[in-house]
Amino acid sequence: MPVRSRYADLSRADLAVVVPELLLMGQLIDRSGMAWCIQAFGREEMLQIAIEEWAASSPVYTRRMQAALGYAPATPGRGDVVTIFKGLQLDIGAPPQFMDFRYTVHDAHHGEFHLDHCGALMDVEPMGEDYVRGMCHDIEDPTFDATAIASHPRAQVRPIHRPPRTPADRQPHCAWTVTIDDSHPEAEGIPALARNERSRAAGIALAPIDPTEDGAADYAGPLVTDVDFAAFSHSALVRIADEVCLQMHLLDRGFAMAVRGRAADEAQLLSLRRQQLVGAAGIGALRLARALGVTRDEAGARRVLALHPLLNPAAYVDADVPVPDGTLTVRPGPAHEDEAWISLVGPDAPDALQAIVQAVDPHLDVEVTPAGEAWTADVVRRAEPAEERPEVAVTKFSTGTDFAFEERTSLPITPV
């Protein structure tokens, strides 16, 4: 039986706020991790790490979301353009509005999308044309196709235009075609994809969606311009939140596999993984705390911990996260078997927990204690505020740190 989700305690309205926050946090993982990879291996190797991590993860989690929300193709692996576009709308690689995808469907096998705003481009454009070309050409070409082949192995995503922008303020930021054609060669996944498909994260069972609740229980209907998360039922939003957390864990597994192939030793691998985690954890906590308006005290910090992807989904990360009072307890579980984020945290490495609680208030801290095979953590208050961690400061470079979602009308997209 699936473990009850920690997101189930949130109201439907709060879940509609939290889900896009989680999607954006997933995008910011790379703003954290890739900075340290550039320092360790150089820009060219960083590009290859980014390609490998997404190609190893997005097909796995895309198929999971298809199954969870009822838009998986009737013939496995033989979806259409709408299937691909729905997957992008629920992908940490394309968080809503921050990566503002606009879709056009011509027919089942032909479509287009363009980005009215690309937050990732806004982050790298100040770094110069080489970094823009690296992201928008070297990374996007293989990773867009890797995402598309989760729906159909003969799907191809090709540019109409893309950055570097000419003129410098060109709108939209980029435009692409999506074509499914039997004449296309059938794409194959990279070796790391097969390893990720065997992970506990790939196969973990989560709580089913209750079709009797108010609100949408699936995304089986028409493709819409902007997903209205408030239109989903409570249990559907809980499931989406848990699935998005698994996307992050699967991406991190891809990151770990890619870095392991380049690291000088296990110590460097561990250091880079922890740097990536601490930066992403701190920014994610900052946005969650702000979005939910949590109190800037120990109770608020525990609430953010309970909702943070580091400790979710509950079926994957074996932990007791009491709110508003009590002690966090973490035990070995499926996430530890996968050597996921939580395996990087403990009495000798509390940094990620500290980054989370200090995003609520810099006076907060955690005291982590071993307890047999498990460990516990208590949130405490210090007299002096902690300095911002360098990993968090690096990630704050992203425009995603302060990005604000706006209300939009969700309209069906019909073929043109």
Give tens-digit pLDDT for 87-141.
999 999 999 999 999 999 999 999 999 999 999 999 999 999 999 999 999 999 9
Can you state the angle between helices 43-68 and 234-260, rounded to 10 degrees? 150
Closest CA to 251 of 25, 16, 19: 25
Give pLDDT, residue 48.
Answer: 96
Give pLDDT, residue 146.
Answer: 86
The dihedral region occupied by 113, where left means phi > 0, alpha psi between -120 and 50, and beta the remainder, is: beta
pLDDT digits (tens, 9 = 90+) for 300-328: 999 999 999 999 999 999 999 999 999 99
Q: In sequence order, what are the beta bridge partners of 107?
A: 110
Q: In sequence order, what are the beta bridge partners of 178?
A: 111, 157
pLDDT digits (tens, 9 = 90+) for 141-193: 999 888 888 899 999 999 999 999 998 999 999 999 999 999 999 988 999 99
Residue 1 binned pLDDT confidence (cut-offs 50, 70, 90) = low
Amino acid 274 reads R
The dihedral region occupied by 410, where left means phi > 0, alpha psi between -120 and 50, and beta the remainder, is: beta
